[in-house]
Structure 1
């Protein structure tokens, strides 16, 4: 192939200008993207491949569309999965979002004492509020739960005492493919496995304790469950053993439930940090953006001396929270404290989703259908569905819910799903039995009009 065939390459500036009309992205970014794409085509042409100018232009335009869609943007969650990791986990309440806007767009007293004009301590209010909510001696927070666990392990292990005892039934894999053994290895700890996958007894822990034992670690199986011929050690019994040997007992709770989940919906009880600490756990850690309903954060609570030691670790500064996370978490915790006596007044969306009644969702579904013309309404049915909490929490829970089934003679379920994702804002539902479903259990009431608009736009 002659280099003269490079004439088929469009001019960078001309193509960038053309594409900028259809994509609201910074022009410099579009130009950079086009240059990169055309450089790839240049290499292919010089290697002997053939392309027309039209083929190149169409492909670069398509690739730019894909790139533009990767930009963070609002999405309507119609999947029925409340803590959807791919869709940003738990949404924030209006209280937290309002406070975030105030702090993010101005200055704050992040490390400034307004009373004496001297430098103040970061997150002192939040840590006190957290300890109050969790009924703990002390509490602190870092940027995610994995970092919290690494800090705990770094602080409570030494070169001479680095063994961490964990039941084989609790060696879980969390999001992104990370596994508890790998997290232990990162911290420099040595894993000591005890028991079997389905059964672990107190004698297994007792037998594994040596002079090198630094921690007994419990890991809550929040993203899966084991049923059948099973047994695990009662927390109070394990705490008594740990205390008799002078060994810290730590539990990674993962999901971060603050309220009795069985009171919100007909689902199982999820262990709360408060009850674990009352049963003798020395330190707990859990995520902020799951059942807590706050931002991505890792919360550590329990023994005051241990928390103080964790905060003095140099690694603590590397994973500490910035003002935005602290603001959202502060408002989320205050919301819990304000609504402690009246959970129904909670400003935590995920808790409101869990406690929704199917009958109320059916009324909303009917209202959406009623505002549409007959030719569209005839393609829709109100159906009973189940919601799930998601986000690696309560894997057995199925929460009664409702939604809308879309069945079109002109479009397949996959075509409807594709069209919904291309709307503004994008709507992400699910397909079951060749039917597209819009699950109202994870849709805010204020978004119902958008649902009707999307249906009107697609099912014409």
Structure 2
């Protein structure tokens, strides 16, 4: 065994191997050491003795693998516009080009050019509040952080009243009761799962009550024998009793022409602003169509208190998020919805989607027996749960029976195209597809034919 172990090459010899000469030694050395450790263990267990060239080749392959980016673009043919697993809302090239000069330079993130003194990073977004009539704004890294910060600031060791029908859990086991507990707030459930009345809130308020909380039912819907309290009534009750009202919207959106039907299911920011709430929060990368962020809007006195919480230092956002949101808000104010892919997709008419499906059909090899079918897409991201959107898709059925639908879905997925299986067909739903995706879909299908 000693003779075998003597054949293990030295670290320095591998570092100086000609085939590894262009590699960064700071990363190469620990990789070599890890390889040699595993190689030694393999030999002690009777593993194969490798030549020096084979050792170098394995190290080179591992280095190459580690240097490859794992985040990569995918094509969304699922019909879900705000797909959490696929990165939610998509950035537009136009908005990225707008913020690029600021991101590659020093900037006035926290610098007031008029006074020459330190400024506030959130001030850059305040000017946009005139369009929604909120007093102040605060941005944290996501809406879960917003919820936690608000509970911790206003309800630590105090009660928060919430309807049993709104004790939500969303993706990643994010549960309102657990968030309250971790923030220091005391959960006080009222009403029942399917029915909660204003009287339930009125009777539950006591000297230790800090907040009346309403949570958007992001991923489910209660139907049938159901009653819940309008946010307008909660605001009035909170004001009368001297406590904070807070609405976790999940998604928030600006009213724009063509999206009037959304108002039947999701309140707009303009509608909520008219109620003069204490605080609301929502995600920046859902219906709004921007980057991941927790956007908190409300009265100046409450936002000011949130800014004093030491947790904000841990939850604050950087210049990229603020630049991206500023560009997004500018696009909304100017009515440049074509720069916001999420808004653009939501504004698609049924006729436009059918035309899109015809254009995709023209790219699909006849081998897959493609045909256009009416389908149902979804907003996604917790917005409008169980409310389908009319869409169209191109259905594929491979002629080769050895390639079943499941294997076709897997092969396309390996090519970066995420589709869905429905009624024994592979469906390429055009709802969330870009016209620029069509050529890639064609090439992928030709490759796996």
Question: TM-score category by the smaller chain?
Answer: 0.7 to 0.9
Shift of 1:254: 0.8
What are the equivalent positions in structure 2 for 1:125-144 lying under 5 Å apart? 125-129=124-128, 131-144=129-142
State whether residues 253 and 268 of structure 2, in contact with CA within 8 Å, keep that contact through their aligned partners in structure 1.
Answer: yes
Pairing partner for 1:347 from 326, 334, 339: 339
State whether residues 8 and 51 of structure 1, in contact with CA within 8 Å, keep that contact through their aligned partners in structure 2.
Answer: no
Match of 1:433 in 2: 423
Q: State the distance in 1 between where 2:257 and 2:39 align.
A: 56
Shift of 1:140: 1.6
CA deviation map 1:82-119 (0-9, x unaligned): 11111111012334211232222222121222334333
Give the 3-state SS of the residue equivalent to 1:442 in structure 2. Answer: coil
Q: State the distance in 2 between where 1:430 and 1:53 align.
A: 45
Match of 2:169 in 1: 173
Pairing partner for 1:278 from 274, 278, 284: 274
State whether residues 268 and 397 of structure 1, in contact with CA within 8 Å, keep that contact through their aligned partners in structure 2.
Answer: no
State whether residues 369 and 452 of structure 1, in contact with CA within 8 Å, keep that contact through their aligned partners in structure 2.
Answer: no
Q: State the distance in 2 between where 1:235 and 1:433 align.
A: 41
Match of 1:288 in 2: 284
Shift of 1:179: 0.6
Query: Is residue 2:355 matched to residue 1:363?
Result: yes
Query: Is residue 2:213 matched to residue 1:214?
Result: no
Pairing partner for 1:454 from 440, 444, 448: 444
Match of 2:249 in 1: 253
Give the 3-state SS of the residue equivalent to 2:78 in structure 1. Answer: coil
Q: State the distance in 2 between where 1:398 and 1:27 align.
A: 54
Pairing partner for 1:396 from 386, 394, 400: 386
- The gaps in structure 1 that reach 5 residues or longer are none
Shift of 1:197: 0.8
Give the 3-state SS of the residue equivalent to 2:189 in structure 1. Answer: strand
What TM-score results when the alignment is normalised by the length of structure 1? Answer: 0.84
Give the 3-state SS of the residue equivalent to 1:140 in structure 2. Answer: strand
Give the 3-state SS of the residue equivalent to 1:206 in structure 2. Answer: helix
Shift of 1:419: 2.7
State whether residues 81 and 345 of structure 2, in contact with CA within 8 Å, keep that contact through their aligned partners in structure 1.
Answer: yes
Query: Is residue 2:318 matched to residue 1:322?
Result: yes
State whether residues 4 and 49 of structure 2, in contact with CA within 8 Å, keep that contact through their aligned partners in structure 1.
Answer: no
CA deviation map 1:8-52 (0-9, x unaligned): 99999989x9999xxxx9897687567646745654664x47579
Shift of 1:272: 2.2
Match of 2:76 in 1: 77
Change (3 A) 1:379 1:266: farther
Shift of 1:237: 2.2
Pairing partner for 2:398 from 389, 408, 424: 408
Q: State the distance in 2 between where 1:115 and 1:214 align.
A: 40
Shift of 1:126: 0.8
Q: State the distance in 1 between where 2:279 and 2:146 align.
A: 11
Change (3 A) 1:408 1:62: farther
Shift of 1:5: 7.2
CA deviation map 1:242-267 (0-9, x unaligned): 12211111111011122279836689
Q: State the distance in 1 between where 2:59 and 2:399 align.
A: 34
What are the equivalent positions in structure 2 for 1:3-402 lying under 5 Å apart? 36=34, 39-40=37-38, 42-43=40-41, 46=44, 48=45, 71-129=70-128, 131-159=129-157, 162-259=158-255, 263=259, 268-339=264-335, 345-371=337-363, 375-376=366-367, 379-402=369-392
State whether residues 142 and 283 of structure 2, in contact with CA within 8 Å, keep that contact through their aligned partners in structure 1.
Answer: yes
Shift of 1:292: 0.5
What TM-score results when the alignment is normalised by the length of structure 2? Answer: 0.86
Shift of 1:302: 1.1
Shift of 1:315: 1.5
Q: State the distance in 2 between where 1:401 and 1:115 align.
A: 51
Change (3 A) 1:117 1:172: same
State whether residues 82 and 88 of structure 2, in contact with CA within 8 Å, keep that contact through their aligned partners in structure 1.
Answer: yes
Change (3 A) 1:126 1:266: closer
RMSD between aligned residues: 3.6
CA deviation map 1:209-250 (0-9, x unaligned): 111111111111122111111111122222222122111111
Q: Which moved more, 1:321-330 or 1:450-459?
A: 450-459
Q: State the distance in 2 between where 1:439 and 1:69 align.
A: 30
Q: State the distance in 1 between where 2:4 and 2:85 align.
A: 43
Shift of 1:57: 11
CA deviation map 1:421-455 (0-9, x unaligned): 333xx221122234322221111122222222222
Change (3 A) 1:283 1:231: same
Change (3 A) 1:407 1:236: same
Q: State the distance in 1 between where 2:251 and 2:436 align.
A: 27
